[in-house]
Structure 1
């Protein structure tokens, strides 16, 4: 795991926030805050992942999450909370949800999963941007023009590399039990909804 990874722990119980920070300290840069107002003051573009308690005095985690999404901050958010999930979570913009108590393994696993998802998102964004450019050039330029272009050759090579990286990352995601079950659920849902 990269030490460039910056995690913000938002937890109103200081001992618990400090425990999470200690668990993650060797893997990433960790900052802790103890209420929603401090969280909103601390969250900026440097934050990669937010571990967010849902029930806090003052600003709730739900409000903090909503503000993060309204600001269009490019970070992953995992709710780490004692609040059992209910149907209200469907409309919430978090990336994952852990119910306390959580172990060190659970916390580090969620960090790894969120980081992997971010990698996959970046790969897909670049892949589709380049695929769009290739499709435009394919429609506008002749085969001879494309064959003689060094830039087009580099574009094709990069697309091939990205396609392989996306496939590898997707395989890694699917190898994780959570994603395997998710794909099974999606498949079952699509079969039963027909």
Structure 2
């Protein structure tokens, strides 16, 4: 692998990632802070690898990952994010990502992931299976969150961050009515009474 695209909205993070990638022998390193730019850059630059954050200010990383896989552009994707692995690693794996690295870990994990993916392998962490530390209430909420589609989870996070229906609709290229329908469905599926409780749930499970 020779070329890579870094997708992250934090310049310091992109700088740290570039150091790791240069150590792994990448010669052409491109970067963007916008999910909306990813598909255009992939088509123009044809990177072998994409290092993708999930928490982006424009188009959500899960949506970007879905578009990359749907386009069958031939590049492999390493997810490098602070999003809770408990909720996102399996989703990213099913969506075609080759690796998932938690930003709260040392950069050595990113280095190992890039090395593995460059060699044709995958890199995913073994998640804890114990539920001893969770209350029955939290376990019930986790089950409900796990049942959400990727699009529902994305909209849940954006609603919990206080974004308006219009802003979410513009971001995801949906109609205002569609987002409103998603909001109603989320309130029902997660058994909450309002957006305030929706935000509380998201905070409890480290989704925002």
TM-score, L = length of structure 1 = 0.54
Match of 1:37 in 2: 36
Q: Deviations over 1:26-75 (max 9, x none)?
A: 42021111110122221137211111000111101111111101110111
Contact conserved, 2:48 with 2:74, CA < 8 A, in 1? yes
Over 3 Å counting, the alpha-carbon distance change for 1:87 and 1:24 in structure 2 is: closer
Matched residue SS, 1:83 = coil
Distance 1:9 1:87 in 2: 23
TM-score, L = length of structure 2 = 0.51
Matched, 1:96 2:130: no
Match for residue 108 of structure 2 among 80, 105, 108: 105
Over 3 Å counting, the alpha-carbon distance change for 1:87 and 1:106 in structure 2 is: closer
Match for residue 6 of structure 1 among 3, 6, 15: 3
Deviation at 1:102, TM superposition (A): 4.1
Deviation at 1:87, TM superposition (A): 4.8
Equivalent positions of 1:21-36 (< 5 A) are: 21-26=18-23, 27-28=25-26, 29-36=28-35
Contact conserved, 1:9 with 1:51, CA < 8 A, in 2? yes
Matched residue SS, 2:85 = coil
Unaligned ranges ≥5, structure 2 = 127-208
Contact conserved, 1:7 with 1:30, CA < 8 A, in 2? yes
Match of 1:47 in 2: 47
Match for residue 17 of structure 2 among 16, 20, 24: 20
Matched residue SS, 1:25 = helix
Distance 2:5 2:112 in 1: 16
Which structure dedicates a bigger proportion of its chain to helix?
1
Unaligned ranges ≥5, structure 1 = 119-172, 182-194
Q: Quote the RMSD (CA, aligned, Å).
A: 2.6
Contact conserved, 2:79 with 2:100, CA < 8 A, in 1? yes
Q: When the two structures are aligned, how many residues end up with a matched partner?
A: 120
Contact conserved, 1:12 with 1:35, CA < 8 A, in 2? yes
Matched, 1:117 2:117: no
Matched residue SS, 2:9 = coil
Distance 1:87 1:18 in 2: 27
